[in-house]
Amino acid sequence: MRSEDRVVTRDWEMYDTRHVVYRPARLKPEALKAGYDWAYREFYRWSSIARASLRHGTLKHQAKHFFYATGWKKFEPLWDVMIRMRQLRQVTPLLEAVLSKVTRQQTGKNQVGLPESSSHELHWPSATCSDGTNN
Mean per-residue pLDDT of the chain: 74
Q: What pLDDT sits at residue 114?
A: 40
CA–CA separation, 4 vs 23, rounded Å?
Answer: 10
Helix (H) or strand (E) holding 127: none
pLDDT in tens, 72-89: 788 878 877 888 888 878
CA–CA separation, 2 vs 24, rounded Å?
Answer: 12
Report which DSSP code applies to 19.
S
Q: What pLDDT sits at residue 113?
A: 42
Report which DSSP code applies to 72.
I
Q: What pLDDT sits at residue 86?
A: 83
pTM: 0.53
pLDDT at 68 over 90: no
Q: What pLDDT sits at residue 35?
A: 92
Among candidate residues 88, 37, 76, 18, the one with its CA nearest the CA of residue 68 = 76
